[in-house]
Each structure stands twice: as C-alpha cells, then as structure tokens.
Amino acid sequence: MRSYKNILNLCVLYGLIHIMLLPFFNGLLEGVVISLLLFGPAFFKLLNVSMQSGKFKGWWLATGVVLSDFVVVLLLIYGLSGLFENVYFEQLYSLGAGIAMIVLGMKYVKSSYRLFLQSYRERTKGGKSLLSGFSLNLINPFTFVLWFNVLGAISLKYSSGNDYRTNLILNLLGILLMLYLMDILKVVTADFIGRKIGHRTFYHLNRYFGGVFIIIGLVFIFSFFKLIFL
C-alpha cells in the first residue's frame, strides 16, 4: 500500500515539475528561434569584439547585451510599453539611435590602419565591453519592438491560466538564458575564427562592420521619416 502511495506522490511531483518547467522549456526553444533571427548592431559588435579581442571580452559584451534585454523587459512590464506606443517617442528614439549608429560606423570606416593598430594594442577593459554591449543594445529601438511583441505573445499564451505571473516569468527566464547561451556560442566561434586572421584582415573587417552600422543607422533614420509621414 505504501509503495502505491510513493508512486502516486512521485507522479504528482513529476506532474507539478512538468507543469512548472514547461513554460521555461518553451522559453528555451523560443530563445533559439529569436537568437537565429537577430542581426542587429549588438550582433555585429559581438562578432567584431570576439574576433579581435578574444572570447573574454566577447563574454563581457554578451553579458552587457543580456542585461540590457533584462532591463528592457522590466521597463516594458512596469509601464514603458505605453510610452513606446507614443508616435513622438518612437520618432525621437529612432532618430537618436540612427545618428548614434552612423557616428559609430563612421568611426570604424574612417579610421586609418595606424590608428587601428594603436587601438588594437591598447585593448579595452572587460567592464568597458560590458557597458558597450549594454548601451548598444539599449539604444536599438528594435530591441524594444522585439520584447514588446514577445511579451504580448507570452501574455496572450498564459492569460487563461491560473499561474499567469509564474508562467510568464519562467518563460521570459528561459528566453533570456537561451539568448545568452547562444551569444556565448557566437563568441566562442568568432574567437576561434579570429585566431586565424591577421591584423590587416581585422582592419578591413572593422571597416566592414562600420559600413554595417551606417546602414543600420540609415534604416533607423528611414523609420524616423516614415513615422513622420504616416
């Protein structure tokens, strides 16, 4: 009789764990999909830093990116979602982000090979890489758009359940964890490739990434004018 009770208790425990962890595992799967679709400025910066400065600096930058994602989620949950729906706020944010991206891109594109070698030898501290990843991801308006849509989809999925808040938190944690793990994988891969590349190739890659940042900035400014003439 006691063995049946133990089996029943184990089944109940398994069911509870399964119900509680299902949103978390859903978040892990969703995080993989989101990571594969993300090609914003933070993605290109992550590759650039990891290839040029190694996986340690790349890890710091990836940590800054996931921390900024966490901050964005908190801001949206606690009231910024209404502000971001404001057209004037979107216009100013897109314009500011576009200018920042173009300035950063021009810095890479216009840098001479001598100045590049000087900055390459100096090597930035890990804390600076963390701040760079945090700020670069935070000024990207598409980061807010992405998490606004993710939160909306998750909220709708669990709105009819009894444990809405718990499921929402577990799902978000799963997504954030997987995004971070995928970024670490990108860091390790980029670091491996970077060990096979010479200084001159790094210099041209820097100019390429600068061009990418300029294009992203132009896209943001285009969004600004698009919002004006809507």
Higher-pLDDT residue of 88 and 154 is 154
Name which of 15-19, 90-94, 138-142, 217-221 the model is least confident about.
15-19
Comparing 83 with 215, which gets the higher pLDDT?
Answer: 215
Interatomic CA distance for residues 171 and 178, integer angstroms: 11
For residue 57, pLDDT over 90 is answered with no
pLDDT score, position 201: 79
Q: Work out the mean pLDDT of the chain and round it to a whole number.
A: 80
Say what the pTM is: 0.79
Taking residues 7-34, what's their average pLDDT? 70
pLDDT digit string, tens, across residues 89-133 = 777 888 888 888 888 888 888 877 777 666 655 555 666 888 888
How many whole angstroms separate alpha carbon 17 and alpha carbon 10? 10
| Chain-centroid distance, C-alpha 146 | 10
Tell me the pLDDT tens digit for each residue of 64-83.
999 999 999 988 888 776 66
Task: Give yes or no for a contact between 174 and 23, defined as CB atoms under 8 angstroms apart.
Answer: yes
As a whole number of angstroms, the distance between CA 204 and CA 108 comes to: 10
Lowest mean pLDDT among 16-30, 108-122, 125-139, 164-178: 108-122
What type of residue is 223? S
Query: Residue 117 has what pLDDT?
Result: 63
What string of H, E and C letters represents the secondary structure of the chain? CHHHHHHHHHHHHHHHHHHHHHHHHHHHHHHHHHHHHCCCHHHHHHHHHHHHHCHHHHHHHHHHHHHHHHHHHHHHHHHHHHHHCCHHHHHHHHHHHHHHHHHHHHHHHHCCHHHHHHHHHHCCCHHHHHHHHHHHHHCCHHHHHHHHHHHHHHHHHHCCCCCHHHHHHHHHHHHHHHHHHHHHHHHHHHHHHHCCCCHHHHHHHHHHHHHHHHHHHHHHHHHHHHHHCC
| 10 pLDDT above the threshold of 60 | no
Q: Is the pLDDT of residue 181 over 90?
A: yes
Query: What is the rounded distance in angstroms from the CA atom of residue 98 to the CA atom of residue 122?
Result: 28
224 in Cβ contact with 102 (< 8 Å): no
Q: What is the percentage of the chain residues whose pLDDT exceeds 90?
A: 14
